[in-house]
Amino acid sequence: MKNMIVLCVSFLTLQAYEYHLKPVELAKDVYCFFGAPENISKENGGNMVNTCFVQTKEGFVVIDSGPTFSYASQAYNEMQKIAKLPVKYVINTHDHDDHWLGNNFYKSKGALLIGPRTYEQNVVTGMETRMQRALGKAIYGKTKIVELDTIVDSNLTLKVSDKTFEIKQMVDKAHTEGDLIVYMASEQIVFAGDVVFNDRLSSLRDGSIIGSLKALDLIDDLHAKVIVGGHGYATDANATQGFKSYLSKMKKQILEALENDVGIDEITKHVVMLEYKDMKLYDVLHSRNVFEAFRELEMYEEESTEEQGIEYIDFTKALKKQKKKIRLL
In this predicted structure, what is the pLDDT of residue 299? Answer: 87
In this predicted structure, what is the pLDDT of residue 5? Answer: 41
Domains defined along the chain, listed by start: 11-247 (3.60.15.10), 248-328 (no CATH)
> Tens-of-pLDDT digits for all 329 residues of the chain?
445 444 444 444 445 699 999 999 999 999 999 999 999 999 999 999 999 999 999 999 999 999 999 999 999 999 999 999 999 999 999 999 999 999 999 999 999 999 999 999 999 999 999 999 999 999 999 999 999 999 999 999 999 999 999 999 999 999 999 999 999 999 999 999 999 999 999 999 999 999 999 999 999 999 999 999 999 999 999 999 999 999 999 999 999 999 999 999 999 999 999 999 999 999 999 999 999 999 999 986 544 433 334 343 443 344 344 434 333 33
In this predicted structure, what is the pLDDT of residue 16? Answer: 64
What burial class does residue 283 get, using C-beta atoms within 10 Å of its C-beta: 0-12 exposed, 13-18 middle, 19+ buried?
A: exposed
In this predicted structure, what is the pLDDT of residue 2? Answer: 46
In this predicted structure, what is the pLDDT of residue 127? Answer: 95
In this predicted structure, what is the pLDDT of residue 15? Answer: 54
Q: Are 228 and 26 in contact (CB under 8 A)?
A: yes
In 3D space, the residue among 57, 52, 14 whose CA is nearest the CA of residue 33 turns out to be 52
In this predicted structure, what is the pLDDT of residue 210? Answer: 97
Is 168 in a helix, a strand, or coil? strand
| Distance from C-alpha of 128 to C-alpha of 125, rounded to nearest angstrom | 9
Beta bridge partners of 168: 155, 181
Cβ neighbours, 10 Å, residue 287: 15
